């Protein structure tokens, strides 16, 4: 990461580092959409069931599609379902620069992909079990296939999106997926009076107990996630300083 930052030049590097520092407060990672009308118009009725957010960050996580333990995947969108205070909340967030640069055709595909991911994960939630990496990979593939058909996106558009995502992974702040998940829940908790209307009540006591278990588990490692991110930022800053000194 330090290498990518130093390649962007001192001023841009400092801007990105400042964003990293600001995001050490998990409540400052996500914010409401700057152009909600565009998303709700393209997403239609289905979009109304989601809390729609944006962030300056791109998330990274160990690749589920590679046998190389060091391989990473990057994502410009997040789709999560959280349990909080007896209700289930579905949230979709996009990288803000992705939204600024992406065409309507590609955004329509991206939205449909997130909606389809939500449908498939909700089916798994009904079974009240956690998914294996293989199952998550299969869901991702199925969602891609379905959204390509529904949106009728071209191969050229898909290639353009891949190029844009690759560019953003090098030019935007990148944060670990677990920290992004922690920050997304922190935003929900901090804004629950405004967002409570998006929540769906548990269908029965069993689903409610399952949700409470997930929430407790999530809360159990959220502090570790925050501390890990702050360490990640400190190491990034040190790496940049050493790079400019000529040590890296």
DSSP string over 83-99: EETTEEEEEEEEEHHHH
Looking at residue 243, its pLDDT comes to 67
Q: Which residue has the tokens 């990473």?
A: 72
DSSP string over 148-174: HHHHT--HHHHHHHHHHHHHHHHHS-E
Task: Supply the mean pLDDT for the chain.
Answer: 90
Band of residue 248 on the pLDDT scale cut at 50, 70, 90: very low
Q: Which residue has the tokens 């449908």?
A: 119
The answer to whether the CB of 69 falls within 8 A of the CB of 62 is: yes
Alpha-carbon distances of 89 from 9, 85, 110, rounded to whole Å: 40, 10, 20
Q: What is the pLDDT of residues 192-232, one digit of tens each?
A: 999 999 999 998 999 899 999 999 999 999 999 999 999 99
Band of residue 133 on the pLDDT scale cut at 50, 70, 90: confident
Domain that holds residue 178: 2-245
Kindly report the backbone phi and psi dihedral angles of residue 88, in degrees, each rounded to the nearest multiple of 5, phi listed first: -110, 130
Q: What is the pLDDT of residues 87-104, one digit of tens each?
A: 999 999 999 999 999 999
Q: Which of 95, 106, 94, 100 is nearest to 147 (CA)?
A: 106
Compute the distance between CA of residue 60 and CA of residue 46 in angstroms, rounded to an integer.
Answer: 27
The answer to whether the CB of 133 falls within 8 A of the CB of 65 is: no
Flag whether pLDDT at 6 surpasses 80: no
Compute the average pLDDT of residues 24-40: 96
Band of residue 115 on the pLDDT scale cut at 50, 70, 90: very high
Q: Domains in the chain: how many in total?
A: 1
């Amino acid at each position: 990461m330090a290498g990518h930052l130093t390649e962007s030049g001192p001023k841009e590097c400092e801007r990105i580092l400042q964003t990293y520092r600001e995001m050490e407060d998990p409540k400052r990672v996500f914010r409401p959409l700057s152009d909600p009308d565009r998303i709700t118009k393209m997403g239609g009725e289905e979009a109304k069931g989601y809390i729609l957010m944006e962030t300056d960050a791109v998330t990274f996580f160990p690749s589920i599609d590679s046998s190389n333990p060091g391989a990473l995947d990057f994502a410009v969108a997040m789709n999560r379902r959280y349990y909080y205070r007896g209700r289930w909340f579905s949230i979709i967030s996009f990288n803000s620069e992705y939204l600024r640069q992406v065409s309507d055709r590609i955004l329509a595909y991206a939205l449909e992909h997130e909606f389809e991911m939500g449908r498939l994960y909700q089916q798994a939630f009904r079974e009240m079990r956690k998914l294996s990496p293989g199952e998550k990979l299969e869901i991702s593939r199925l969602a891609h296939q379905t959204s390509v058909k529904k949106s009728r996106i071209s191969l050229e558009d898909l290639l353009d999106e891949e190029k844009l995502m690759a560019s953003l992974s090098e030019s935007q702040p990148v944060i670990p997926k677990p920290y992004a998940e922690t920050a997304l829940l922190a935003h929900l908790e901090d804004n629950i009076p405004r967002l409570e209307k998006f929540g769906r009540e548990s269908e029965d006591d069993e689903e409610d107990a399952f949700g409470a278990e997930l929430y407790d588990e999530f809360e159990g490692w959220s502090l570790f996630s925050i501390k890990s991110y702050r360490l990640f930022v400190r190491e990034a800053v040190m790496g940049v300083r050493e790079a400019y000194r000529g040590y890296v």
